[in-house]
């Protein structure tokens, strides 16, 4: 490849978005535990379920606030986003291509959406025709990904981001930010949740109702269970780490939350195994 960031790869998580960010942070030698990344960005605590429990649920929500919370963890995300409904979408693949090449030339790791299947992928290089990448079901036969084909997949979205390390916030600010986001996200705000999806307790109710009605997508149910089970497991680990870092501050509340999320994690794990 014309440019290659050696040893840049994703970390295999069901939440491929955070798997790519973790891969970028590891490459940048930024030490962040898996739990602190999941919890500090709020992702460990959110839920997003489509009315038919289709596989889009875990990724089809507005992640802008998650990007902002990444600064608390110790990194900043910048990039290009566009969808088919957005004016100027035809120009988005070119803008993403120019953005990624400039960042990679500067030694800044990148990641993007749907370079193979509808998941996130670390972008670790490029040649004259397209991207080199690593992620779910990535193969050498599918590379390079022609730059002009970004956004041509079934989701019709162009996303290309860079990850730069920065100074993390204090532990209390990180925990407070994650909890504030989780509580607000669970109220189904229209700026983050799309019309046919529900989050929080309403998300669980939507899931239950779809299963009872026989309208739930089979693969989607399995995939949602795997993703949200992973999130709840890391929520428990994050709460444990928060108690240690905060050295007694709010210990009782954090311990109670840990117990409740442990119940959710065990329940979702049973659904995943089924």
Kindly report, residue by residue over 200-209, the tens digit of the pLDDT: 999 999 999 9
Please state, in angstroms and rounded to a whole number, the distance separating the CA atoms of residues 47 and 62: 12
Q: Within 10 A of 200 (CB to CB), how many other CB atoms are there?
A: 20
Please state, in angstroms and rounded to a whole number, the distance separating the CA atoms of residues 260 and 253: 11
Q: Does 248 score more than 90 pLDDT?
A: no
In a domain, 68, yes or no: no
Please state, in angstroms and rounded to a whole number, the distance separating the CA atoms of residues 229 and 265: 5
**Are both 178 and 158 inside the same structural domain?**
no
Output the CA–CA distances (angstroms, integers) from residue 67 to 42, 50, 143, in the order listed: 10, 22, 28
Considering only 10-14, 18-22, 95-99, 270-274, which range has the smallest mean pLDDT? Answer: 270-274
SS3 (DSSP) at 55? coil
**Are both 24 and 98 inside the same structural domain?**
yes
Show the domain range for 262: 34-63+169-274
Q: Using one digit for the tens of pLDDT, what is the confidence trace for 183-195?
A: 999 999 999 999 9
Q: Within 10 A of 137 (CB to CB), how many other CB atoms are there?
A: 9
Which runs of E-coded beta strand occur in the chain? 3-4, 48-50, 75-83, 110-113, 120-126, 130-134, 145-146, 157-165, 197-199
SS3 (DSSP) at 151? coil
Place of tokens 């875990």: 58
In a domain, 136, yes or no: yes
Q: What is the mean pLDDT of the chain?
A: 96
Place 65 in a pLDDT band, splitting at 50, 70 and 90.
very high
**Are both 131 and 192 inside the same structural domain?**
no
Note the pLDDT of residue 246: 95
Q: Does 2 score more than 80 pLDDT?
A: yes
DSSP secondary structure code for residue 166 in this structure: -
Alpha helices (runs of H) in 10-149, residue ranges in sequence order: 16-27, 34-40, 64-73, 92-105
**Are both 17 and 122 inside the same structural domain?**
yes
**Are both 107 and 131 inside the same structural domain?**
yes
Q: Does 1 score more than 80 pLDDT?
A: no
Place 141 in a pLDDT band, splitting at 50, 70 and 90.
confident
Output the CA–CA distances (angstroms, integers) from residue 149 to 75, 78, 96, 166, 181, in the order listed: 29, 21, 11, 32, 34
Q: Using one digit for the tens of pLDDT, what is the confidence trace for 81-132?
A: 999 988 999 999 999 999 999 999 999 999 999 999 999 999 999 999 999 9
For residue 27 the two structure tokens come to: 């490459």
The last residue of one of the domains, among 130, 165, 200, is: 165
- Please give the share of the chain, as a percent, with pLDDT higher than 70: 100
The last residue of one of the domains, among 165, 197, 224, is: 165
Contacts of 245 (CB under 8 A, 6+ apart): 171
Q: What's the structural domain count of the chain?
A: 2
Note the pLDDT of residue 5: 96
């Amino acid at each position: 490849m014309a440019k290659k960031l050696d040893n840049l790869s994703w970390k295999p998580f069901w939440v491929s978005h955070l798997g790519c960010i973790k891969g970028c942070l590891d490459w940048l030698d930024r030490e962040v535990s898996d739990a602190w990344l999941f919890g500090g960005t709020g992702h460990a605590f959110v839920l997003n379920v489509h009315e038919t429990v289709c596989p889009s649920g875990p990724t089809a929500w507005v992640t802008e606030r998650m990007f902002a919370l990444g600064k608390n963890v110790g990194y900043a995300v910048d990039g290009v986003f566009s969808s088919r409904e957005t004016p100027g979408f035809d120009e988005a693949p070119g803008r993403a291509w120019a953005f990624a090449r400039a960042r990679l030339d500067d030694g800044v790791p990148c990641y993007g959406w749907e370079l193979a299947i509808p998941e996130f992928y670390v972008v670790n290089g490029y040649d004259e025709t397209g991207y080199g990448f690593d992620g779910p079901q990535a193969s050498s036969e599918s590379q390079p990904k022609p730059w002009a084909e970004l956004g041509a997949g079934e989701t019709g979205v162009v996303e290309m981001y860079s990850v730069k390390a920065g100074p993390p916030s204090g532990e209390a600010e990180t925990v407070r930010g994650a909890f504030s986001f989780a509580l607000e996200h669970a109220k189904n705000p229209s700026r983050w949740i799309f019309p046919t999806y529900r989050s929080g307790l309403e998300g669980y109710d939507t899931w239950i109702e779809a299963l009872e009605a026989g309208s739930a997508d089979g693969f989607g149910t399995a995939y949602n269970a795997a993703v949200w089970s992973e999130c709840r497991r890391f929520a428990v680990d994050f709460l444990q780490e928060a108690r240690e870092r905060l050295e007694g501050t709010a210990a009782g509340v954090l311990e109670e939350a840990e117990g409740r999320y442990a119940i959710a994690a065990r329940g979702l794990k049973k659904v995943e195994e089924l």
